[in-house]
């Protein structure tokens, strides 16, 4: 049996009116919390007051209005819920990446037969990261097959890398290489990965003279697996960075990197006159 206060309308117009008021109140609460986060009143990593205290602060008896406000900010990526602990202002470790400089750095080190002093990711981004590596053998997807100019039933070595910066997952990267190419350059297990040696170095050291790279970027909604792997809230978009390495005109490897949109700033510095290399 539904209950209502004396004199309160139970007609549809009355119901819609109450819902509109609650939506308006949740919007006010979300707006105030958003302003406090953006102004620095609440810092990344700060825990918000308990729900009961927030209801007192905002002078509301409507738990549903508060819940809607908090869900809105979680969806925006401003808040994160730690079950059993509370609601926190989301910390964001933004890494700046100069893509052209990083690619040239990797290429020159590989061509000279040297490894970078730091890990490849650290050398390119300046961030201190922990890397989780796994290997798998799979068939090519349609897009990877097209980029590598191979059949869908072609077997690939898939190398997966998950980078964690200051305890926060930063990106998930994958390398797709024909199985015969991987065997030629000696990549058999994650033990073959060494700090400072990236894919370019593996290929060049294995006698495959890579001389060109193409890059492409896409912004999209993350998959469920990416939401889990990258620990991102719903509503956060990701950048997917595709790279193809070539020997002459022959594609030899495809790689992707998926990064939450609020954790990276891509930069490109291009010389406009003379030798553009």
**Which structure tokens are listed for 136?**
């798998």
What is the spatial distance between Cα 95 and Cα 165, in angstroms, rounded to a whole number? 9
Domain ranges of the chain: 12-89, 95-267
Angle between helices 12-39 and 63-75 (to 10 degrees): 50
CATH 3.40.1410.10 for the 95-267 domain, yes or no: yes
- Domain 12-89 adopts which CATH fold? Arc Repressor Mutant, subunit A (1.10.10)
**CA–CA distance from 56 to each of 50, 53, 59, 227 (Å)?**
10, 5, 5, 33
Residue 107 neighbours by CB distance under 10 Å = 18
- Cβ neighbors of 229 (< 8 A, separation 6 or more) are 162, 169, 172
DSSP-assigned letter for residue 119: -
Q: Would you say how long the chain is, in residues?
A: 277
**CA–CA distance from 270 to each of 57, 98, 100, 216 (Å)?**
52, 10, 8, 16
- The model's pTM is 0.71
- How confident is the chain (277 residues) per 10-residue block, as mean pLDDT? 43 48 78 88 89 91 88 81 84 76 86 71 74 95 97 97 85 96 96 87 94 94 90 81 96 96 83 69
The answer to whether 12-89 and 95-267 have equal CATH topology is no
**CA–CA distance from 7 to each of 4, 10, 14, 263 (Å)?**
8, 9, 11, 52
């Amino acid at each position: 049996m539904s209950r209502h206060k004396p004199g309160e309308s139970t007609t549809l117009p009355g119901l819609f009116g109450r819902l509109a008021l609650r939506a308006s109140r949740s919007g006010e609460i979300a707006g105030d919390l958003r302003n406090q986060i953006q102004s620095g009143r609440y810092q990344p990593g700060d825990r918000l007051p308990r729900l009961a205290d927030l209801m007192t602060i905002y002078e509301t008896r409507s738990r549903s209005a508060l819940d809607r406000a908090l869900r809105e900010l979680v969806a925006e990526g401003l808040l994160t819920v730690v079950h059993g602990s509370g609601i926190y202002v989301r910390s964001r470790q933004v890494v700046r990446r100069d893509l052209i400089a990083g690619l040239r750095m990797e290429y020159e080190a590989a061509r000279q037969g040297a490894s970078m002093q730091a890990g490849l990711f650290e050398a390119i981004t300046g961030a201190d990261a922990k890397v989780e590596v796994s290997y798998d053998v799979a068939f090519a997807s349609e897009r990877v097959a097209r980029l590598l100019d191979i059949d869908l039933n072609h077997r690939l070595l898939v190398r997966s890398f998950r980078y964690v910066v200051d305890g926060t997952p930063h990106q998930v990267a994958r390398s797709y290489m024909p199985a015969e190419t991987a065997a030629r350059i000696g990549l058999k297990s994650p033990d073959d990965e060494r700090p400072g040696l990236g894919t370019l170095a593996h290929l060049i050291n294995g006698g495959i003279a890579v001389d060109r790279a193409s890059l492409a970027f896409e912004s999209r909604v993350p998959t469920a697996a990416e939401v889990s792997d990258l620990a991102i809230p719903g509503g956060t978009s990701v950048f997917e960075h595709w790279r193809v390495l070539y020997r002459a005109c022959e594609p030899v490897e495809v790689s992707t990197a998926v990064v939450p949109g609020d954790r990276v700033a891509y930069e490109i510095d291009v010389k406009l006159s003379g030798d553009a290399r």
